[in-house]
Structure 1
Amino acid sequence: MPLHATSSPAILVLEDGRTFHGDSYGAPGETFGEAVFNTGMTGYQETLTDPSYHRQVVVMTAPHVGNTGINDEDQESRRIWVAGYVVRDPARRASSWRSRRSLDEELREQAVVGISGIDTRALTRHLRERGAMRVGISSTETDPSALLSRVKSSGEMTGAELASEVSTTETYVVPAIGPKKHTVAALDLGIKSMTPHRMAERGIEVHVLPATASLEDVRAVSPDGLFFSNGPGDPAATTHQVEVLQGALAEGIPYFGICFGNQLFGRALGFGTYKLKYGHRGINQPVMDRTTGKVEVTAHNHGFAVDAPLDGSTTTPYGEASVSHVCLNDDVVEGLELRDGDGRLKAFSVQYHPEAAAGPHDAAYLFDRFVSLMGSRYAGRSSLTTGYSTTESEG
């Protein structure tokens, strides 16, 4: 039974020809992107507004979506970024005191093409077996073969540089909440609004810079630390930010990166990256922090991973690099750390999302680790341009 009496038919066609028939959901029309699935049972508003989903068609594995509508507080960025949206059973009525409009209305307002009423379990199993692939959704095309032809001519995720398409164009500042303790330069590669907020909660003044920012732009902030955010695209196609990070590491600026920032950190250290078969997307991924032995349930959104040895350390021009976190489902690298010759921490990153809007919050301690790193590395610092004190406490 369609969501609305006026719902029109729609089709979804995968790159390998698999076709699903359903009802138009959201805006009418046609869209293309990479088909991926998200296993989260909640947090659909945060998912939709996560810039890391740019050019991706998101399939929700939870059968009921839209139950709490859309509010004005939980957006992770200025707009919806998904290229398309696939759900099984959309809520017929939003039920939340915070709701301002329905999910369907929001999708229509932002011209996001979707489809409902299809077997999302079968679609998800297909993607798990065959891997993420290009897809098209249309409520205007009735011929699957014609749509398939356009799917095959659409862009691929491999080789795509997308951070510049989602980044801020101008620097802005998120002030510290309470007494200011540190200043951080954060490169916006697709940053989620909760990330600088988590740092601000810890007394950090965050200067959010465009993805095109240079090392000179970073220096101009006189930062106590450098942060690289999450973001979309192929890390192998993103070279400018790697060079900026290498320059910062050479100068001894403490670094923290998440998601895309982990992949770029890996490439800056000399490791490769590769595309996962279907990626990790959801809020229920188990990860072990090897520095503490603690297992965390974490939020993920990544289709690429770092190719680094799980055991031992690797000598780099900037220090000794090692894998600090690993996914317990498939042994994918989920974190890196860099230490100096005395074993003191210089920089670290994780592949998942410790800010975790919509939860879980097991990994929130990583922001505290960043604060501790900046405090220990810069005790006695004079200025960024004149150098750092060589007297450091354990980090």
Structure 2
Amino acid sequence: MSTLIKDAKVLEAGHLTLTDILIENGHIEAMGHELHTKYGAADHVICAGKHFVTPGLVDVHVHLREPGLTDKETIDTGTMAAAHGGFTTVGAMPNVEPVPDTPEKVALMVAENAQKAHVHVAQYASITKQRTSEELVDFEGVKQAGAFAVSNDGSGVQTAETMYQAMCGAAKAGLTVAAHVEDESLKGDGVMNAGPVADKLGLPGIPGISESSQIARDVLLAEASGVHYHVCHVSTAESVRVVRDAKRAGINVTCEVAPHHLLLTDEDITMDNPMLKMNPPLRSPKDRAALIAGLLDGTIDMIATDHAPHTDAQKAGSMRTAAFGITGLETAFATMYTTFVKTRILTLSQLIDLMSTKPAQLFGLHQAGQLKPGTPADLAIIDLEHQYEIKADQMFSKGHNSPFVGWQVYGDVLMTLVDGQVAYGKDQHA
């Protein structure tokens, strides 16, 4: 079975070039012009209409909520949201019920992902049993069962001894440790960034040091253990500084930033608004500036959404009681492109590097993040020219908890292909 994508604009050496793409049996067979003269007529033709065709986006930080939390999201709805956002590979976090903390549970989740997902799903195992205990998982066992990395996302590992032993075990098994960094003794009962805005609203704050102090601990443990240590959703200037210093010291550390921390600050919280409650919280304008600087100088390696869907009821009421988290898969590319590429802060090549190539490379997802002959036909066709409005009723995610609903943006995903098959097309409806 062959498919020809006609009139595609692809990035070559930083410039958009018009080409055709021939797909055979799920892989890219050739790219160029007049391909029919060598390969014959294709079984199917997709006209890209001179729109941008990118390697499928890669998000290493997604909450699919299945099993156990399917009122919020499912593998089906979450990966359909991913396809709608142009993502063809996502990393599924382990804060589900039951937690994938044994080889058997990991194997079951890998099988469920393969059966139900519309895109490729790389599965995390937890670092510790139940994700919050001090008892370590069987790192070699969970890797053999299909885990691509380990994380306790949603909870920071509170003791240095546990984290060090986890890093040693993960390093031996060849697994990345992706850390939610949060010292609970410093976080307290905070619901937003500690500072003048929280004080004005009368809401308890989460100090930035609760994040950066744990990173400072962990980078030294990572150096001692030799593990690949990845910091989830950095949000403070101090965190960026610690990671930058660690990289300069030769420590194997990488980190990600979420779109919402690049787009918003605590000054956007003008009232008790649960739609702006996430963990880590929106920080100060100074922190946002440091995150952008970290993207530009390479300290921050990738953008990851931390897609965290909740029911409407769970995001209602006050920030004091509502759930932490917002969705991101269906808004990430458009908001990033509009805010940073259209304004020439980033180039389109840099954005694709941050949202596809680097996460694939750094997490060993060797089949992802590429658009060249011989690789899987995982790609997205995106309209970069026409403005559109982000609307909740056009989302495939069960969760509509996004502060970006109503934003006018560019970068509309028209079609997403996974292994050469259409996973999302513009004519589909949520």
TM range (shorter): under 0.3
TM-score by length of 2: 0.24
The higher-RCO structure (CA 8 Å, 6+ apart) is 2
Higher strand share: 1
TM-score normalized by the length of structure 1: 0.26
